Chain A
Amino acid sequence: MSAATSEASPGAERSGSRPEPDDVRRGAPDLARGVALLRPRSAWEAVDFGFAFARPLYARMLVASALVVLPISTLLLLLRVPAEWVALAAWWTKPAWERISLHVLSRSLFGERPTVRETLRALPRYVRRDLLAWLTIRRPSPTRAFDLPVTQLEGASGVVRAQRLELLHRGRFTGASVLLLVFLAHLELALLVAIALLAAMLVPDPVDFDVMGWLFQLGDDAAPGASVALSLLSVLVSLAVAPFHVAGGFALYLHRRVDLEAWDLELAFRRLAARLEGRPSHPIAQAGRTIGVVVVLGLALGLAGPIPTHAEGLDPATARSEIAELLADEAFHRIETISVPRFLLDRELDDEEDDGPTAFAAWLEAFAERFAEVAEVGLVAAALGFLGWLSWRILRSREGVFGGSRRDGRARRVGAPRELFGLELAEETLPDDLAAAARTLLARGERRAALALLYRGALSRAGSLHGIQLSRGGTERECVDVVRAGMSEDGGRYFASLTDAWVRCAYGQIEPDPALSDGLCGEWSRWFAPGGGDA
């Protein structure tokens, strides 16, 4: 218990000389130095925030606490203390060595990230406060991780601590902190069994060694060394889980204080005030708001599993006989001779006799038979339907059953858009001789209207004449790319310049000069009139 204190006492004097940075002590912490975005969250979101926060710090928390716990445990084992007692001691002293993780977490919240060495040097400073109370009356507390910051970070004890806890526990996080402890306690047990099982699985068959039996056989029958192994394993699992317990509780504590003190608003207000006064706001506060987003693409392959390539021309009758033939083959049979002790056989026979069918069972059996008949018909019908559908698909698309042309097929079904960027594209809304109509508009000086007509016509004919598929949600620029891909190079260039002129005119209010508009109008028929020029 107090061994944890003596372990790292040599470094105490030196580290004490350094001015201590603000933790999340009472009073306002320097939030601008914070590395995590604190805002009101639900209790479980807060716990998950704690886990996410702990992840990059996990290694140093684990190493630092292991460097304290494992040497002491080994020492106790060498002193001939029974292994079970050593494991119990490690478990009992959790409130002491969990403080190591809390130290790392709390310092890291404000960008400090103490190393293992620094953490252990500082150990005597943070481990002592109220240690005796924590190891005795407070040991059974179900809200340990939630309460520990009040002792360790706020330095509260006695009446102050009681009042403080009364306030903190009034929030919506207390229940979550209890459930957190319950869950993680189960997790520890589960991991213990899981690791033992994994070891048992990894023992090769010829080796006749029952890992589970060896490990969990306690009491007088226990194999020598087994209890040491089990105790050590449980200490290791405790060490591995503890950082998450501390991080979850710490996060709950932080979010309770965010509720009480509105840290997020303080940060927002400080930034706003700085901007209003023309000061640059704190650089750290500005930095790093972007979070890398990684999108894992969903499993694109889906259900398009094995494709029955020979499914055409196979009617159910032949299929059935073929199946029967195949199943009759020797490959599907394995003949085994099993010898069973006589008495087991007898017992089974007895069981069967005992198990006489009741009325309900008879009914159920009859029902099952009837159901099976109906289901058989249904299944055959479904199979026939599936075959029909399959052959229809095969006849319809020569490219293949599922593969290849799926995308094109969908596009064809959608059809050409009737409208793009608010421009009507249906053929019937366009004049018959579009180039002539545009020329008349140009002659009247309505260059914008003329350009609109030409552009609409070009978009519409790109679909109907050149078979280019424009997507409904595309932009002008995307249309240019699609048209370029589907037309000759000159045609594409023409469409690009037409688009450019239209975009300038429509969005920039810059009318094209007469030479350009006349040129565009003159060349239009070459590309987009039916039967005009080389398409």
Chain B
Amino acid sequence: MLDATLRLETPEGVDLALAPAGPVVRGLAASIDGLITWGGSILALIALSSAGRTGTGVSLLLLFGVQWFYPVLFEVLGGGRTPGKRAMGLRVIDADATPIGWNASLVRNLLRVVDLLPAFYAAGLVSMLVGSRFQRLGDLVAGTLVVHAPSVGPPPRDGPASDDRLGARSCPVLVRAADQRAILAWAERRGQLSDERAVELSDLLAPLTGAVGEAGRDELVRIANGIRGST
């Protein structure tokens, strides 16, 4: 079943699910970074242009430093996120899901020169679309991945407030953790669903709730409350 996520198992037996990020969102992140670096560089160039040829020399050095090391510094010291990546909820990691180090970051950013060819990152874009994990050539060489890592927001929106008043009950039969999560998700996402659809879904679980229609829905809410452990 296609899931577009990559599952890695750590030696400790923990399953990590990674969602490699594709060209569009990465392109937008790169645009933001480009605005920052070029904007900053141009401002510096203008400021230094009054200083004649020495100023030009210094600003060229500055340009060099910013263009090559801005991504490296942010990636290694900023948890794999340049400002652009942070804005788009992305993160660079090693392909084995460990944090990216200096070597990998330097390699992947130096190879931008190759990805750039022949113009506008065409090689990188094609490489991303062809490979199964959206890696540009620099990523392939450095063994890195860019993944979706949205910053952790507030907990998901709860269901209608009246849910709490229905009380809680324990699940009548033992169900697996994945199923418990599904029941919880149903209760939490009920605000987005139409009521008919919520009932339609709870009807599917009639074998569990022993009721259909609104009675079944309320019973499933109680079971969800029981799973969550609230009263």
Real complex partners, A and B? yes
Q: Which residues of A contact B (CB under 8 A)?
A: 28, 34-37, 40-42, 44-45, 47-49, 51-53, 55, 179-180, 183-184, 187, 190-191, 193-195, 197-198, 201, 244, 248, 259-262, 264-266, 268-273, 276-277, 287-289, 291, 293, 295-299, 302-303, 355-358, 360-361, 364-365, 368
Identity of the chain A residue whose Cβ is nearest the Cβ of B202 in the assembled complex:
A269
Note all chain A residues with C-beta closer than 8 A to B194. Answer: 260
Note all chain A residues with C-beta closer than 8 A to B186. Answer: 262, 265, 269
**CB pair B119 A194 closer than 8 Å:** yes
Contact of B206 (CB < 8 Å), options: A261, A271, A273, A302: A273
Per-position binary interface string of chain B over residues 84-108, scored 1 when its CB falls under 8 Å from any chain A CB and 0 otherwise: 0000110000111010001110010
| C-alpha spacing A386/B30, complex, angstroms | 37
**CB pair B88 A44 closer than 8 Å:** yes
Note all chain B residues with C-beta closer than 8 A to A357. Answer: 52, 54
Would A299 and B19 be within 8 Å (CB), given that A52-B2, A268-B182, A273-B207 are in contact?
Answer: no
| C-alpha spacing A42/B152, complex, angstroms | 12
Note all chain A residues with C-beta closer than 8 A to B28. Answer: 179, 183
**CB pair A183 B104 closer than 8 Å:** no
Would A361 and B22 be within 8 Å (CB), given that A53-B4, A272-B208 are in contact?
Answer: no
| C-alpha spacing A365/B54, complex, angstroms | 6
A-B residue pairs in contact (CB < 8 Å), sample of 15: A28-B200, A37-B1, A45-B4, A48-B19, A48-B22, A51-B22, A51-B129, A190-B122, A190-B125, A191-B125, A195-B122, A262-B192, A272-B175, A297-B95, A298-B144
Shortest CB-to-CB span from A268 to chain B, Å, is: 4
Contact of B54 (CB < 8 Å), options: A183, A298, A302, A368: A368
| C-alpha spacing A36/B4, complex, angstroms | 9
Identity of the chain B residue whose Cβ is nearest the Cβ of A473 in the assembled complex:
B11
Those of B3-27 within 8 Å (CB) of chain A = 3-9, 19-25, 27
Shortest CB-to-CB span from A348 to chain B, Å, is: 12
Shortest CB-to-CB span from A246 to chain B, Å, is: 14
| C-alpha spacing A198/B175, complex, angstroms | 59
**CB pair A48 B4 closer than 8 Å:** yes
**CB pair B197 A180 closer than 8 Å:** no
Would A265 and B201 be within 8 Å (CB), given that A47-B25, A53-B4, A55-B132 are in contact?
Answer: yes
Note all chain A residues with C-beta closer than 8 A to B206. Answer: 273
Note all chain A residues with C-beta closer than 8 A to B169. Answer: none
B79 interface residue per 8 A CB criterion = no
Contact of B24 (CB < 8 Å), options: A55, A179, A190, A266: A179
B193 interface residue per 8 A CB criterion = yes
Shortest CB-to-CB span from A113 to chain B, Å, is: 12
Note all chain A residues with C-beta closer than 8 A to B53. Answer: 355, 361
**CB pair A201 B118 closer than 8 Å:** yes
Identity of the chain B residue whose Cβ is nearest the Cβ of A289 in the assembled complex:
B1
| C-alpha spacing A469/B173, complex, angstroms | 50
Identity of the chain A residue whose Cβ is nearest the Cβ of B186 in the assembled complex:
A265
Per-position binary interface string of chain B over residues 180-205, scored 1 when its CB falls under 8 Å from any chain A CB and 0 otherwise: 00100110010011100100110011
| C-alpha spacing A364/B47, complex, angstroms | 13
Shortest CB-to-CB span from B202 to chain A, Å, is: 8
Would A262 and B201 be within 8 Å (CB), given that A289-B1, A297-B96, A299-B142 are in contact?
Answer: yes
Note all chain A residues with C-beta closer than 8 A to B217. Answer: none
B50 interface residue per 8 A CB criterion = yes
Contact of A265 (CB < 8 Å), options: B3, B119, B185: B185
Note all chain B residues with C-beta closer than 8 A to A28. Answer: 200
**CB pair A270 B204 closer than 8 Å:** yes
**CB pair A42 B55 closer than 8 Å:** no
**CB pair B208 A276 closer than 8 Å:** yes
Would A298 and B175 be within 8 Å (CB), given that A36-B1, A269-B204, A293-B8 are in contact?
Answer: no
Would A273 and B58 be within 8 Å (CB), given that A45-B148, A47-B25, A191-B122 are in contact?
Answer: no
Shortest CB-to-CB span from B6 to chain A, Å, is: 7
**CB pair A47 B24 closer than 8 Å:** yes
Would A298 and B51 be within 8 Å (CB), given that A35-B1, A184-B24 are in contact?
Answer: no
Per-position binary interface string of chain B over residues 31-65, scored 1 when its CB falls under 8 Å from any chain A CB and 0 otherwise: 00000000000000000001111110010000000
**CB pair A298 B142 closer than 8 Å:** yes
**CB pair A272 B179 closer than 8 Å:** yes
**CB pair B3 A37 closer than 8 Å:** yes
Contact of B197 (CB < 8 Å), options: A40, A195, A261, A296: A261
B143 interface residue per 8 A CB criterion = yes
For the complex with contacts A49-B4, A191-B120, 18 further pairs of A-B residues with Cβ separation under 8 Å are: A37-B3, A44-B21, A53-B2, A179-B28, A190-B125, A191-B125, A194-B119, A201-B118, A262-B192, A265-B189, A268-B179, A272-B175, A295-B96, A298-B104, A299-B104, A299-B107, A302-B103, A361-B50
Note all chain A residues with C-beta closer than 8 A to B215. Answer: none
Note all chain A residues with C-beta closer than 8 A to B2. Answer: 35-37, 49, 52-53
**CB pair B104 A265 closer than 8 Å:** no
| C-alpha spacing A277/B98, complex, angstroms | 43
**CB pair A299 B208 closer than 8 Å:** no
List 9 A-B pairs, minimum CB-CB distance, nearest first: A194-B122, A190-B120, A268-B182, A48-B22, A298-B143, A44-B25, A37-B3, A269-B204, A36-B2
| C-alpha spacing A265/B142, complex, angstroms | 39
**CB pair B201 A183 closer than 8 Å:** no
B150 interface residue per 8 A CB criterion = yes
Note all chain A residues with C-beta closer than 8 A to B192. Answer: 259-260, 262
| C-alpha spacing A48/B192, complex, angstroms | 23
Per-position binary interface string of chain B over residues 119-141, scored 1 when its CB falls under 8 Å from any chain A CB and 0 otherwise: 11110010001001010000011
